[in-house]
Amino acid sequence: MPSLVWIPEDSPADSFPPANTALEQPNGLLCAGGDLSAPRLLHAYRQGIFPWYGDDEPLLWWSPDPRTLIDTESFHVSRSMQRFLNKHPYTLSIDRDFMAVINACAAPRATSPGTWITPEMREAYSALHYHGYAHSLEVWEGNELVGGIYGIAVGAAFCGESMFSRRSNTSKLALWTLLQQLQRWGFTLFDCQLWNDHLASLGAYETSRHDYLARLNSATQVTPNANWQLDTDLMHNQSHVG
């Protein structure tokens, strides 16, 4: 079994091995070490690499094969969900309260009492948000945050990190709305990173790492027309779902 590559903390930000050299078991584990500085994180995302580790683990970097993606066109909307999207009681926003979204995503859940969104991760992604690379979409019931999603934008690729829901369907509403807005801005790739049954129920699909990296490379060469403000017709109840 190949040994795991270790990256010194003081190494240059681009000191990653090629993504296609990641281990088969555990699937996608590429290297360990380094830090969560903004330059290193941005270089990682542009190369199809992301951090994922627990409190009792070193900083681990991953690039799984296959990769999970979702397209606006393939987002699965059931009849009941379509009725919900056509008329719901919530208001939506982009980047109104990034830290509240990431903190909510990091909170323990009934099915997963632990979290990989450590305080260090929250601090690092807050820095990316400050520099204009990390973004959130919020779902509000009055002034109460009841759902949301956050991720990283690199060129015309958006890497979804996590989402949460405090009311039925609000995480799905956040994802669907974000996909609609990203498409309008010219984004060509939405990366879900890892497969799970919930994403599959929404239309997520898998593609090879080779295909993903080629599509990512193309997407990162594009500058989308994004102002990170939600279009007016997406801020409130949608009057029509296609």
77 alpha carbon, distance to own chain's centre: 20
For residue 52, how many C-alpha atoms fall within 13 Å in the half-sphere facing its CB?
15
User: pLDDT, tens digit, for every residue of 214-230?
Assistant: 999 999 999 999 999 99
Write down the pLDDT at residue 114. 52
Domain boundaries, the chain: 5-65, 68-235
Question: Average pLDDT over the chain, rounded to whole?
Answer: 90
CATH class of 5-65: alpha beta
Write down the pLDDT at residue 237. 59
Annotation: CATH topology of 68-235: Aminopeptidase (3.40.630)
pLDDT band at 82 (very low <50, low <70, confident <90, very high): confident
CA distance 67 to 45: 13
- Per the CB < 8 A criterion, the answer to whether 148 and 139 are in contact is yes
- Per the CB < 8 A criterion, the answer to whether 138 and 167 are in contact is no
Helical pair 98-106 and 119-130, crossing angle rounded to 10 deg: 160
pLDDT band at 79 (very low <50, low <70, confident <90, very high): confident
User: pLDDT, tens digit, for every residue of 99-116?
Assistant: 999 999 998 765 555 577
